[in-house]
Amino acid sequence: MIKDIISNAEEKMTKTISILKRDLSSMKAGKANPAMLDRIQAEYYGSITPLNQLANVSSPEPRVLLIQPYDRTSIKNIERAIQVSDLGLNPSNDGIVIRLTIPELTEETRKNLVKNVKKTGEEAKVAVRSIRRDANDKIKLLKKDNDITEDELKKSEDDIQKKTDNYIKEIDKILEIKEIEVMSV
């Protein structure tokens, strides 16, 4: 029973890390990364469809993204979706492909981006701590119902705390790498 609670908490913490990585990969850091467009969705025959299902996205040059729609009739909708997104990029199309040029980051933009990276990281840490709290609450409930001993309670809480500390360290490493990437591009 305790193992289930701990493994469930660890699984949720792992998902938090993968969400953090996905969110950070979609932030523009001065170089072209197809993952930047993962959140973009465009209208296609009346339904909202993720961009990666409408087109092939590649990065032929360090600061250029090339979007090749599978269906050329969707090019205007893809272009519009990029324009209204929070990316702040201006697409240019030649009727066949859409090109996105990623501008060089100014010092001020870099600092703002680092702030966003830290904010996103802090949100991930809060999520991990919340998962820890929920797991501890469930274990305390088992103790209250006399399903486990005081020693098992303490050991379980220590296990969860160690896992939490490891995930927080991992988040810090991910943030450090992203911060270096943003400031060095």
Is a pLDDT exceeding 80 seen at residue 119?
yes
pLDDT number for residue 154: 93
CA dihedral 30, 33, 34, 39 (to 10 degrees): -60
> Cα(first)–Cα(last) distance of the chain, in Å?
48
Is a pLDDT exceeding 90 seen at residue 89?
no
pLDDT number for residue 36: 80
DSSP E strand boundaries for the chain: 41-44, 47-50, 55-61, 64-69, 92-93, 98-101
Fold match flag (2-25+106-184 vs 34-101): no
Query: 2-25+106-184, superfamily in CATH?
Result: Ribosome-recycling factor (1.10.132.20)
Is a pLDDT exceeding 80 seen at residue 166?
yes
Residue spans per domain, the chain: 2-25+106-184, 34-101
Considering the chain, what is the average pLDDT of its residues?
Answer: 88
Q: Per-residue pLDDT tens for 4-44?
A: 989 999 999 999 999 998 888 777 666 777 878 888 888 88
pLDDT number for residue 155: 93
Q: DSSP class of residue 50? A: E
- Cβ count near 6 (within 10 Å): 17
Q: Per-residue pLDDT tens for 61-74?
A: 888 889 999 988 88
Q: In this prediction, what percent of the chain has a pLDDT beyond 70?
A: 98
pLDDT number for residue 86: 75
Looking at domain 34-101, which of 1.10.10.60, 2.60.120.370, 2.40.170.20, 3.30.1360.40 is its CATH number? 3.30.1360.40
Between CA 6 and CA 79 the distance in angstroms is: 46
pLDDT number for residue 72: 86
- State the pTM of this model: 0.71
pLDDT number for residue 135: 93
- Cβ count near 182 (within 10 Å): 22
